[in-house]
Each structure stands twice: as structure tokens, then as C-alpha cells.
Amino acid sequence: MEDFLTYLPYIISGVLAAGLFAFEVLMPGFGAAGISGGILFLLDILLLLKNHGATAALGGALVILALTGIFSFVLLKTGFRSKFSSLVLSDSSTKEEGYRAADDLDALVGKRGTTVTPLRPSGIGLIEEQRYTVQTAGEYVDKNTPIVITRVEGGKLFVEQERK
């Protein structure tokens, strides 16, 4: 029991440091919790090093870091939400909702369609019953003109007037 009481201040400060670190991990910025946890951590390790040696200090540091990970995990799993959680987007854009990634456009190379608007040099084209923003290499193309997709660069579809 006497050994436990000897290490009690180190245990308390270590648990507090780990809790403050875990709180800081979940909150953006380097605020009061992180600074306080850092000071407690350093004091705890330095006192352990002075009074009980390097092995005890290393063990204390490892325990505090492990506790920080455990506390962070528990806080995340219990649904801890910071006041900044509303700034993080949690919705996703799915294909079923009509969103398309730029990678899907590579399959359109060589496809034919018609212009919905004049292309000067960009406008709207109808390819496979879908409207796309398309672009020429600089030439003007009238409305309702047959076009063919020649290449895709990033999210841009480049077209040429279809030759008969």
C-alpha cells in the first residue's frame, strides 16, 4: 500500500495529462488543454526521472501515451462532438443522387452527340441523353450540330464538330 501511495501523485497527473491530450486530439488547434496536458506530462516524467530513474520515467511516458490513445478512442466511440464538428462535412455525394466523378468522363471519349447551345468555345452538349459542359479547341460550333468527344482533361470534355 505504501508503494501505491508513493506513486499516486504520478498516477493522478499522468491520467490528467492523458485526458487533456485526448481532449486536445478531438479539438482543433493547440489550446489550453494541450498546453496543460503537456506541462503535466513533462512534470510527471521529470519527477519520475529524478525520484525513480529512467526506467520509471520511460514507463510513465508509455503509460500516458497509451492512456491518451484509449481515452481518445472512448471519446470518439461515445459520440463526443466538439463545437467545431458542424464545420466538418459528414454528407457524401453518391452516384445514385446524380453526382459524377471526373474519372467517369474518360469512358466518353469517341462518343457522339449534339450541341444544345452554341459552343464559343464552350457550351452544353447532349451525349447519350446526358447534358455535359463541353469545349472546343477554340472554334465556334452552332446549336444542334453533331459533335464527337476527342479527349478529356481533368473534368473538361473536349469536342470537335463531327465530320461527314
> Contact, 64 vs 41, CB < 8 A?
yes
- Please give the pLDDT value at position 89: 58
- Please give the pLDDT value at position 99: 67
Q: What is the pLDDT of residues 74-113, one digit of tens each?
A: 877 777 665 555 555 566 666 667 666 655 788 899 999 9
Identify which has the larger pLDDT, 60 or 144.
144
Whether 136 shows a pLDDT value over 90: the answer reads yes
Phi-psi region of 133 (alpha: psi -120 to 50; beta: other; left: phi over 0): beta
Q: Which of 44, 42, 35, 36 is nearest to 12 (CA)?
A: 44
Whether 17 shows a pLDDT value over 90: the answer reads no
Residue 89 C-alpha cell reads as 462535412
Q: Alpha-carbon distance 17 to 107, whole Å? A: 54
Q: What is the pLDDT of residues 24-76, one digit of tens each?
A: 777 766 678 878 888 888 888 888 888 888 988 888 889 888 888 888 788 77
- Please give the pLDDT value at position 28: 63
Q: Alpha-carbon distance 17 to 37, whole Å? A: 4
For residues 120-142, average pLDDT = 92
DSSP state, 83? T
For residues 6-23, average pLDDT = 82
